[in-house]
């Protein structure tokens, strides 16, 4: 009896060993730790997991370990903790496009260029991305460091039913914007809600600085144009939006602007005729509005000879591969990056989340192709990219942004009178210049 069970046990052991062997071989695989933040709603975790599963089926020797890391800021903090402890776990991450300069400077990441150069169709791969998004992927010399993934851009949303009823045309420049906003403004309904209240006015402000003739930043990350004439005109314009007409303002919205998070619901519930907001909100706005929603390019600039004055920044996150990662894992991470930046994934990701698919090819295939046919509003965001500028990213980017946001908020909120706006911008510029002096 005992002998029999012993024999049985041996048999089982051998059998299980045989059964396990293939798994042992399969376990000799590369594991890629992928950190991603969320900035839009919806079951993002499941979507990412779906992509990982699909990718692993294509590359059986690679395992993707997706790690949700909170907001963009929390993601950066988590990665900074690992860097500080000199124990870097992350292999590839989605971080803000504007984190590029700091991470390049600290040599934390490796250039995507080194992988692209080895691709057979490297040039085509790069050319497939929209140029406006690539502007935040390159350094001064033109080396590509990161790859666009979840990118966005602000657009103009307008109540198309109301426009039709009142017989107004969609504004194409700042002058028309004010004209239309004033015509549609009533005590119950703001003519235009500009979400620049709170801590982050810099994003929308950039569209006006560029629209008035001088973008806040150009190719050189050591040079910031905050006290230019265009910048002053932009700040004055933003401030006057909420100022009553009796005080020389335009009086088309609340003083100091509206709050970012509340603006879409204010629009969909009919409390605003027009709003500036991200393309990321398009899905929610289309779903929640009871009227026809119109979408147009940001009329943030002075009219050119055609009467058009369009300008917008880009936003969102790119994919970064880390320098501390072993070379073979970097290779695997690159395959994952290539997969996430492929037309198929970009098309699906764009359709599900509202981010602007970053490749041209993504718009030619389903599900995005069908979506655009049903809801042409999605196409506007893509087409606006022709008028889009690089998003602000300088050396010491976080510190410089803080200086700019503080200066902008103090003027737009009315705490600093417009007569002192120029002096405030000059003071902020001096602070920025002293921060950036060592990088020139």
Partner 1 sequence: MTRRKWRSYLVTAVTFVLAMIWLMPLVFSVLMSLRPATEPINVGNIFFGSTLTLDNYHNAWQVAPWGRHYLNSLIFVFGTLIVQLVTITMAGYAFARLRFWGRDVLLGVLLLQLMIPTGVLLVQNFATVRTLGLFDTHWALMMPYWGSAFGVLMMRQTFRAVPFELEEAARSDGANWWQLIRHVYVPLSLPAYISFAIVSISSHWNEFLWPFIVTRSEDVRPLTAGLNKLFFTTEVGAQYGQLLAGTLIVIAPLVVLFVFFQRQFIESFASSGLK
Q: Which of 136, 146, 153, 263 binds partner 1 (CB under 8 A)?
A: 263
**What are the tokens at 290?**
């009871």
Binding residue (CB under 8 A) for partner 1 from 146, 152, 206, 359 = 152
Quick check: 56 and 62 in contact, CB under 8 A? yes
Query: Which DSSP string do the residues of 134-160 spell out, in sequence order?
Result: HTTTB-TT--B--EEEEEE-EEEEEEH
Q: Which of 171, 313, 316, 350 forms a contact with partner 1 (CB under 8 A)?
A: 316
Task: State which of residues 25, 45, 61, 304 lies at the interface with partner 1 (CB under 8 A).
Answer: 45
CA distance 94 to 131: 19
Size of the site for partner 1 (CB under 8 A): 47
Paired residues of 320 in beta bridges: 93
CB of 34 to partner 1, least distance (A): 10
Footprint on residues 60-79 left by partner 1 (CB under 8 A): 65, 67-72, 74, 78
Instruction: Decide if residue 151 touches partner 1 (CB under 8 A).
Output: no
Task: Restricting to residues 399-438, name those near partner 1 by CB under 8 A.
Answer: none
Binders of partner 1 among 349-378, rule CB under 8 A? 354
Cβ closest to partner 1, residue 280 vs residue 309: 280
Closest to partner 1 by CB, 41 vs 373, is 41
Smallest distance from partner 1 to CB 261, Å: 4
Q: Which is nearer to partner 1, 152 or 394 (CB)?
A: 152
| 160: contact with partner 1 by CB under 8 A | no
Of 28 and 85, which CB lies nearer to partner 1 in the complex structure?
85
Cβ(168)–Cβ(335) under 8 Å?
A: no
Which of the ranges 44-52, 337-345, 364-372, 427-435 carries the binding residues for partner 1, by CB under 8 A? 44-52
Out of 44, 92, 216, 407, the only residue in the binding site for partner 1 (CB under 8 A) is 44
42 lines the binding site for partner 1 (CB under 8 A): yes
CB of 122 vs partner 1, minimal distance in Å: 31
84: exposed, middle or buried (C-beta count within 10 Å: 0-12, 13-18, 19+)?
A: exposed
Shortest distance, CB of residue 268 to partner 1, whole angstroms? 6
Nearer to partner 1, 39 or 400 (CB): 39
Upper half-sphere CA count for residue 59 (Cβ side, 13 Å)? 18
Binding to partner 1 in span 82-121, by CB under 8 A: 82, 84-85, 87, 89
Using the rule CB under 8 A, is 288 a contact of partner 1?
yes
Instruction: Kindly list the strands in the beta sheet with 274-278, ordered across the sheet, starting from the edge strand earlier in the chain.
Output: 274-278, 154-159, 293-296
Considering the rule CB under 8 A, would residue 131 count as an interface residue with partner 1?
Answer: no
Rounded Cα distance between 14 and 32, Å, is: 33
Cβ 357 to partner 1 shortest distance, Å: 16
Inter-axis angle of helices 229-242 and 397-412, nearest 10: 50
* DSSP, residue by residue, 198-232: SS-THHHHHHHHHHTT--SB-S-TT-B--SSHHHH
Give the contacts of 88 (CB within 8 A, at least 6 positions apart): 79, 82, 322, 324, 325
Distance CA 263, CA 402 (A): 23
DSSP 272: B
Helix (H, G, I), strand (E, B) or coil at 274: strand
**Applying CB under 8 A, does 269 fall inside the site for partner 1?**
yes
Interface contacts to partner 1, rule CB under 8 A:
33, 37-46, 65, 67-72, 74, 78, 81-82, 84-85, 87, 89, 152, 260-266, 268-269, 271, 277-278, 280-281, 284, 288, 290, 315-316, 354
């Amino acid at each position: 009896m005992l002998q029999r069970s012993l024999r049985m046990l041996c048999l089982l052991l051998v059998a299980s060993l045989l059964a396990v062997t293939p798994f042992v071989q399969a376990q000799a695989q590369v594991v890629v730790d992928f950190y991603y933040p969320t900035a839009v709603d919806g079951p993002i975790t499941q979507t990412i997991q779906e992509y990982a599963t699909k990718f692993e089926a294509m590359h059986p020797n690679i395992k993707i370990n997706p790690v949700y890391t909170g907001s963009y800021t929390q993601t950066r903090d988590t990665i900074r903790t690992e860097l500080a402890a000199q124990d870097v776990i992350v292999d590839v991450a989605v971080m803000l496009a504007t984190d590029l300069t700091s991470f390049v400077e600290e040599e934390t990441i490796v250039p995507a260029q080194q992988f692209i150069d080895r691709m057979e169709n490297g040039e085509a791969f790069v050319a497939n991305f929209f140029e406006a998004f690539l502007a935040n992927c390159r350094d001064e010399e033109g080396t590509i460091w990161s790859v666009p993934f979840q990118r966005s851009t602000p657009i103009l949303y307008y109540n198309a039913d109301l426009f039709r009823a009142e017989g107004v045309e969609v504004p194409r420049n700042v002058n028309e914007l004010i004209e239309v906003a004033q015509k549609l403004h009533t005590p119950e309904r703001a003519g235009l809600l500009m979400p620049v209240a709170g801590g982050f006015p810099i994003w929308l402000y950039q569209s006006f600085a560029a629209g008035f003739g001088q973008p806040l930043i150009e190719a050189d990350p050591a040079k910031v144009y905050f006290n230019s004439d265009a910048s002053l005109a932009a700040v004055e314009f933003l401030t006057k939006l909420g100022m009553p007409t009796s005080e020389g303002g335009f009086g088309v919205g609340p003083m100091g602007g509206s709050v970012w998070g509340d603006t879409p619901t204010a629009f969909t519930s009919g409390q605003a005729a027009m709003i500036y907001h991200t393309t990321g909100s398009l899905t929610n706005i289309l779903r929640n509005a009871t009227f026809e929603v119109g979408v147009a390019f940001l009329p943030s600039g002075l009219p050119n000879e055609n009467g058009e004055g369009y300008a917008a920044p880009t936003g969102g996150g790119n994919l970064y591969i880390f320098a501390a990662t072993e070379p073979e894992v970097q290779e695997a991470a690159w395959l994952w990056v290539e997969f996430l930046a492929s037309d198929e994934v970009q098309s699906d990701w764009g359709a599900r989340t509202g981010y602007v698919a970053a490749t041209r090819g993504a718009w030619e295939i389903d599900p995005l192709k069908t979506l655009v046919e049903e809801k042409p509003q999605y196409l506007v965001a893509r087409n606006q990219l022709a008028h889009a500028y690089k998003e602000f990213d300088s050396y010491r980017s976080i510190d410089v942004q803080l200086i700019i946001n503080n200066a902008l908020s103090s003027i737009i909120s009315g705490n600093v009178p417009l007569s002192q706006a120029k002096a405030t911008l000059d003071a902020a510029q001096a602070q920025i210049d002293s921060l950036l002096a060592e990088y020139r």
